[in-house]
């Protein structure tokens, strides 16, 4: 029962961030999806589906990796430096502090740049004009795109502190925003540009709020349990 609750919590958190990311993804990554459709007009739906399948696989694998990194951060200091279970930071979940600090950096960058810049994806163009298998590989490679929203998701995957929870979080995140991306582009309607602009203004504050939340959670974990 406890395991099921943790899975559900990771899925809900990932889906919530996916909902938040939709305006950004339409504005920043919409051109990628449009390019896929334009280069494969005779089978655009299939091409877009395979491209997004690659994105789902890539994001989920990244979630497993970052979740495992969060697990290492939690266990590593206590296991290698101190007596396991005795050191107070063992119970503080250091993986909560890491994404909190990372969120502050992302928020600071977004404040300085006055929004989010579209990621450079020219290096991915070679995947779009290839076969359908190459399109799927291109979707996996979108995991490497420099993107503030994606970095925020990776930070939260680290904060899950467990490899499988990180994977579940990123799977829920990418499936949520991919569903609406594919639906919107298939219907030929994208989010209005004004919503993208509003999200750019709100994004630093969102990251700042998430960072504060993680730091507060970390501080609470430092409080020793009542005897």
Residues of the domain holding 182: 1-190
* pLDDT the model gives residue 84: 44
Name the packing angle between helices 163-186 and 2-39 (round to 10°). Answer: 40
Same domain, 130 and 46: yes
Query: Quick check: 185 and 25 in contact, CB under 8 A?
Result: no
The count of structural domains within the chain is 2
Same domain, 43 and 103: yes
Same domain, 85 and 184: yes
* pLDDT the model gives residue 145: 84
> What are the 10-residue block averages of pLDDT along the chain, 227 residues in total?
83 91 76 78 84 94 94 67 50 75 87 66 67 84 86 91 93 91 67 65 87 88 67
Same domain, 209 and 116: no
> Tokens in use for 82?
């101190």
Task: Using CB atoms within 10 Å of the CB of residue 16, give its burial: 0 to 12 exposed, 13 to 18 middle, 19+ buried.
Answer: middle
- 174-177's contacts with Cβ under 8 Å and 24+ in sequence apart are 174/18, 174/55, 174/56, 174/59, 174/60, 175/15, 175/18, 175/56, 176/14, 176/15, 176/18, 176/19, 176/22, 177/18, 177/19, 177/21, 177/22, 177/25
Task: Using CB atoms within 10 Å of the CB of residue 87, give its burial: 0 to 12 exposed, 13 to 18 middle, 19+ buried.
Answer: middle
Same domain, 164 and 201: no
* pLDDT the model gives residue 189: 52
């Amino acid at each position: 029962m406890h395991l099921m609750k943790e899975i559900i919590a990771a899925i809900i958190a990932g889906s919530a961030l996916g909902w938040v990311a939709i305006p950004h993804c339409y504005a920043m990554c919409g051109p990628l999806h449009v390019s896929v459709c334009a280069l494969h007009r005779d089978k655009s739906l299939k091409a877009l589906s395979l491209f997004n399948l690659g994105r789902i696989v890539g994001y989920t694998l990244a979630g497993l990796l970052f979740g495992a990194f969060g697990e290492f951060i939690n266990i590593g200091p206590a296991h290698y430096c101190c007596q396991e279970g005795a050191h107070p930071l063992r119970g503080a979940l250091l993986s909560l502090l890491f994404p909190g600090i990372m969120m502050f950096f992302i928020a600071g960058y977004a404040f300085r740049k006055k929004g989010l810049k579209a990621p450079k994806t020219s290096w991915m163009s070679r995947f779009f004009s290839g076969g359908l298998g190459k399109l799927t590989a291109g979707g996996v490679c979108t995991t490497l795109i420099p993107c503030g929203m994606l970095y925020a998701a990776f930070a939260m995957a680290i904060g899950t502190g467990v490899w499988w929870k990180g994977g579940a979080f990123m799977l829920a995140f990418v499936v949520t925003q991919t569903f609406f991306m594919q639906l919107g582009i298939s219907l030929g309607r994208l989010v209005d540009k004004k919503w993208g602009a509003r999200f750019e203004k709100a994004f630093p504050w969102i990251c700042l709020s998430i960072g504060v939340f993680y730091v507060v959670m970390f501080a609470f974990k430092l409080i020793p349990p009542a005897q």
